[in-house]
Structure 1
Amino acid sequence: MGALVGFVVLALALIAGTAFPSAITVEGSFRHTDSSSMLTPGASCYTRMYTAGTRVDVTDDTGAVVATGTLDEGIAMVDSDSTYGRLGYATECAFAFTVDNVPSGSRSYGIEIAGVPNRLAFSEQEMRNGPGLHNGS
């Protein structure tokens, strides 16, 4: 009897693990370039579209939103390849973000920031390692 109960518990655990995939936490980064602004390196920064609290959605391989987080406060960064960067000014605003409870097991993932989808597809391992996004104006 005890062996049968143990078998049933093991079988249910295996079924639950298959039916309910584990979740991952995604800790990523997003850099927005604004070549029209000169910022003080290391200072807080934001743009009209991106600021602390801006929504970050993770999508699965069907495009469905599966988890949501927000951008942290932006930090002004120097892009030494830009005209202002060569003069010591920052033209990039770097944000970190965390999205909890992203279901594992999707063939690929996408990230939308402020409702704007990107064209990159990330593997589960890339999501676990910390995806990085960059856009510019």
Structure 2
Amino acid sequence: MLGGSVVGRRRRDQRIRSRRDRLPLRNRRAGRGYEDAVQPDGTLTVAGVGAGLDSGELCSGTGGYSDIDFGTQVTITDAAGTLVAVGSLGLGQKTEQGCEFPFTVDDITPGSKFYTVEVSHRGGLSKAEDELRTGGLAFTLGD
């Protein structure tokens, strides 16, 4: 009996998540305000990480930066402090500067005076809508 209730709860949670994940796509297809959505991309570099690796090799944050890795959450809030989008870091690659992680965040509704981009719990950096729209954001942690 207990096992059945857990399985039933999992199925219900999966259905809810599935519906929620499809919502933006339905809205986009229906033309409900997504045509002007902002989709910033950029990189986060953890300086000095990856010593001993060749350029292009996969890497991740270490020591005090161990929270920075593939899948780490990237959040975007608007000027009112409302969470408007969530993305994540891609795979880190060794560069001359350290370990560089790409990211893209989709479907940020335009219209705020500024947006705050935050990776993990590292504190946010504010950017104007034009800067997000242009893309190519570059953030650095460390040295």
The TM-score, its normalising length taken from structure 1, stands at 0.69
RCO (CA 8 Å, sep 6+): is it higher in 1 or 2?
1
Q: CA RMSD in A?
A: 2.3
Q: Cα deviations across residues 26-49 of structure 1 (Å, max 9, x unaligned)?
A: 111111113684432110010111
Q: Tell me the amino acid that sits aligned with residue 122 of structure 2.
A: V
User: Match for residue 71 of structure 2?
Assistant: 53
Aligned residues of 2:49 and 2:99 also touching (Cα < 8 A)? no
- Unaligned 5+ residue runs, structure 2? 1-30
What is the 5 A alignment of 1:1-137? 22-34=36-48, 37-47=51-61, 48-79=66-97, 92-118=98-124, 120-130=125-135, 131-136=137-142
- Unaligned 5+ residue runs, structure 1? 1-16, 80-91
Where 1:132 maps in the other structure, the secondary structure is: strand
Identity rate, percent: 31
Where 2:132 maps in the other structure, the secondary structure is: helix
The TM-score, its normalising length taken from structure 2, stands at 0.66
Deviation beyond 4 Å, 4+ runs, structure 1: none
Higher strand content, 1 or 2: 1
User: Greater Rg, structure 1 or structure 2?
Assistant: 1
